[in-house]
Amino acid sequence: MRQQEAPDDAANPNIAVPPGMGHYCSMLWRGDRWALEWEPSSKSDPCGRLRDQQAEGRVAHAGLYSTHGLNNVVMRCRNGVDYWRGVGAGPLKSAVDEALASQRRGCVFTVAPDALPLFDSPFSASTRIQGHFPGGFDFAQGDVTVDVNGFDQPGLANAHIVESHGIDMSNTVAVNDHDGHDWTVPTGTPVLSVADGVVLLARDRKVPCESPIQKEVYIQHIVGSGEYEERFVTYYAHVDSYSVVAGQRVKKGQVIGLSGETGCAGGPHLHLAVTRLTNTASEYRRAYSIPSTDHPPMTSNIEPYGWEAPRGFDPWGWMNYPSGALSIDLWNPGQAPAR
């Protein structure tokens, strides 16, 4: 099968790290020894500091955390998983303290800021969004079911469709296992790249639907650099036409095509999904290729509005081990499309 590979890193115009971000590094050594280090600057090198101490270490995860905002931390050791959520380095410190106090072995830490403002709206300011299909990103895909009472929400203890506020959508018209957002807009509405990036693929794909050719675009976005960069792919589906080609650099706000209802669509809308390629539950950097006849597996897709329940922790980032990833609110202020 022909595969479309991501372009070399050298071809990617990296996005500058937003202010208020630091670097973290989760490292492992032989014999199940571990360390988590962090420094409150996006110029810092905590992995380098750890390597200076013990040279043969392996980076398990490394990336960005918010120095003054909320962060989410999953700690996975030989004997179980725990998670923390709190301000700045607080949850990172809590995780390390707990692991040391209970003498845990082989601990790997996954950290994600609650918010990393990178994305502008995929629509221009003059676009009137006519609707948003209920559900959006499903936090209970595949075999995962979620007890929404833990999020202070009414509903099932084994909900199988859960949206970002922890609301149980199981008994609604929401699509099960949906991995993105669907906004109703008239065919011909300009679709914009949400951030600077490189087009991985723009194609016509055969699908078993009434409209047999689905037009779709994949764009990779990289923020930061070196061992601490975070990578995302945005996927725009059902467009009527696209005006970019694989390998092309695009700027935030650049028109990449016109919306439509090609492929498996019940009406004119834009489907936007976000895949995380760095610091997923089990992987530091995820290899990504787009099959010639299908979209890539959606297991490390995330909710670009972030996890917003009144209580509780992002279930997708740890329950769907090894494939899940912690969601992040990726919208720039005032840019999140209406839901």
| Residues 74, 317 contacting (CB under 8 angstroms) | yes
Nearest approach, Cβ of 199 to Zn ion (angstroms)? 20
Q: Indicate whether 329 belongs to the interface with Zn ion (CB under 5 A).
A: no
Q: Indicate whether 182 belongs to the interface with Zn ion (CB under 5 A).
A: yes
Considering only the stretches 175-183, 184-192, 279-287, 325-333, report the one whose residues sit in contact with Zn ion under the rule CB under 5 A: 175-183
Query: Residues 23, 104, 160, 271: which binds Zn ion (CB under 5 A)?
Result: 271
Considering only the stretches 6-14, 35-43, 70-78, 174-182, report the one whose residues sit in contact with Zn ion under the rule CB under 5 A: 174-182
One-letter amino acid for residue 90 of the chain: G
Considering only the stretches 7-15, 119-127, 185-193, 264-272, report the one whose residues sit in contact with Zn ion under the rule CB under 5 A: 264-272
Size, binding site for Zn ion by CB under 5 A: 2
Nearest approach, Cβ of 182 to Zn ion (angstroms)? 4
Minimal CA–CA distance to 289: which of 200, 205, 195? Answer: 200
CA angle 16, 216, 255 (to 5 degrees): 50
Which residue's CB is nearer to Zn ion, number 120 or number 182? 182
| Residues 100, 8 contacting (CB under 8 angstroms) | no
User: Which stretches of 227-268 are assigned E, i.e. beta strand?
Assistant: 230-237, 241-242, 249-250, 255-258
Considering only the stretches 182-190, 253-261, 307-315, 318-326, report the one whose residues sit in contact with Zn ion under the rule CB under 5 A: 182-190
Q: Whole-angstrom Cα distance, residue 325 to residue 311?
A: 19
| Residues 235, 257 contacting (CB under 8 angstroms) | no
Nearest approach, Cβ of 179 to Zn ion (angstroms)? 8
Nearest approach, Cβ of 207 to Zn ion (angstroms)? 13
One-letter amino acid for residue 334 of the chain: G
Which residue's CB is nearer to Zn ion, number 34 or number 133? 133
Which residue's CB is nearer to Zn ion, number 215 or number 271? 271
Which residue's CB is nearer to Zn ion, number 170 or number 278? 170
Nearest approach, Cβ of 158 to Zn ion (angstroms)? 24
Closest residue to Zn ion using C-beta atoms: 271
Nearest approach, Cβ of 236 to Zn ion (angstroms)? 11
| Residues 41, 326 contacting (CB under 8 angstroms) | no
Q: Which two tokens stand for residue 181?
A: 């957002």
Which residue's CB is nearer to Zn ion, number 75 or number 194? 194
How many other C-beta atoms are found inside a 10 Å radius of the C-beta of residue 322? 11
DSSP states of 115-182: EEEEEPPSS-TT----EE-S--B-SS-TT--B-GGGGT--S-TTBS-B-TT--B-TTSSPPTT-BSEE
Considering only the stretches 93-101, 249-257, 265-273, 274-282, report the one whose residues sit in contact with Zn ion under the rule CB under 5 A: 265-273
Q: Which two tokens stand for residue 211?
A: 């409209």
Considering only the stretches 33-41, 57-65, 86-94, 181-189, report the one whose residues sit in contact with Zn ion under the rule CB under 5 A: 181-189
Q: Indicate whether 138 belongs to the interface with Zn ion (CB under 5 A).
A: no
Which residue's CB is nearer to Zn ion, number 37 or number 303? 303
Which residue's CB is nearer to Zn ion, number 133 or number 307? 133
End-to-end CA distance of the chain: 38
Query: Which residues in this chain contact Zn ion in the complex, by CB under 5 A?
Result: 182, 271
